[in-house]
A and B are shown apart, each in its own frame.
Chain A
Amino acid sequence: MTVPTDQPMEVQAAILTFVEARTRTSWDPGADIFATGGLSSLFAMELVVHLEKTFGISIGGADMRLENFRTVDSMVGLVTRLGGNVSA
């Protein structure tokens, strides 16, 4: 999949679709998806790998923090900051 990261709304829609499919829940882009419990470190790791593959970015160092994956918006922020229009 190729998703241009200079279009945050499309990035947001792509991430939201993935998160909603995996959690079978609909989410507000600003909601903390880990706060209500039940979502694990494994799911967090799945998000990391998914973002890397989908947007062709590599997440490492100080960016590997749960804070960056807590909300759809924080993920959009991370992807936008790290991304070019790369495909994977």
Chain B
Amino acid sequence: MKTEPIAVLGAGVMGVGITTLLAGHGLPVRLVDNDPVKLAQAPGRIRRELRMAQLMGVLPPGREEGEVSLHGDLSAVRGARVVIEAITENADLKTAVLADVSALVPPATPLVSNTSSIPIDELADAVRHPADLIGTHFMNPPALIGTTEVIRGVRTGEATLEAVRGLLREVGRRPVVVRDAPGFVTSRLLHPMINDAARVVQEGTASAEDVDALMQGCLGHPTGPLRTADLIGIDNLVDSLWVLLKRTGDEGCRPCDLLLQKVADGHHGRKTGQGFYEYEESTR
């Protein structure tokens, strides 16, 4: 069983990052995306992220990389040991894809959603065996972040939780298991904070550089909230804030005008070369 590939759905920021983590630890991956452009870009991005992981000394030395194959069609999930869903943060898209996947794999295949904010139990309605569905919240870049939030839905089975713990152990991540809720722990805290940081810039109190410098230098935030927004992808951040607003009613989660403007302008952060900061082509 151990040698069966892991299917990763979505070859965006996170799909590429999760594939890097898995392949860098020697596990074979089938990467699936319905956008041929994203699929075509994936090998170069994975190569770059693997190099960065190597540079930072976070991959097990001397281990052969797992093979990565690219697929345009969901049928590639057949025979996968685990399916990790990392498509766009949109509940309708995710439920449609998870429903299709659950019809293609046998029961007891762990279905893992990397959603930032959608409650796992809400997604569980779409699958044939809700006990097989669980959330993991890998963060960007997964190979460099040692801790992974794991979300146990009310219907998530013990066997699924154990399988995911086992997988995380194989790739050297430390799981922290939490209960299901909109945004779980990390997005519930981080996303409104980043929204506020953007609002501070919008109101002219300080520049993005100065907000980040203060959060890093005085409060110990590792990268600063606005550099983090760029790393996440501002389009994804806004999607996630809408998910949170709709499910919590917390007005602090309503995306501020500056974030909405950046999405409208196509300034989605590192992945498009511009967000709160500018990025060299070579390091996107």
Report which A residues bind B (CB closer than 8 A): 37-38, 40-42, 44-46, 48-50, 53, 64-66, 69
Contacts and interface: CB of A to CB of B under 8 A. Distances in A.
Nearest to B144: A41
Contacts, number: 42
Nearest to A48: B55
Interface string B21-58: 00000000000000000000000000010011011110
Contact of B282 (A37, A44, A46, A69): A46
A64 B51 contact: yes
B280 interface: yes
Contacts of B186: none
Most buried by B among A37, A42, A66: A42
12 contacts: A38-B213, A38-B216, A41-B56, A42-B231, A44-B55, A45-B51, A45-B52, A46-B280, A53-B282, A64-B51, A64-B55, A66-B55
Most buried by A among B55, B227, B231: B55
Contact of B223 (A40, A53, A69): A40
A65 B144 CA distance: 14
A40 B217 CA distance: 14
A66 B216 contact: no
Contact of B57 (A37, A53, A65): A65
Given A37-B216, A41-B144, A45-B48, A64 B283 contact: no
B52 A41 contact: yes
Given A37-B216, A38-B216, A40-B223, A45 B283 contact: yes
Interface residues of B, number: 19
Contacts of B270: 42
Given A41-B55, A64-B51, A49 B283 contact: yes
A38 to B, nearest CB: 6
Given A38-B217, A41-B55, 18 more contacts: A41-B52, A41-B141, A41-B144, A42-B52, A42-B283, A44-B55, A45-B283, A46-B282, A46-B283, A48-B55, A49-B280, A49-B283, A50-B282, A64-B51, A64-B55, A65-B57, A66-B56, A69-B55
9 A-B pairs closest in CB distance: A49-B282, A46-B283, A45-B52, A64-B54, A64-B55, A41-B56, A45-B283, A38-B216, A44-B55
Nearest to B54: A64
Nearest to A49: B282
A44 B56 contact: yes
A38 B280 CA distance: 18
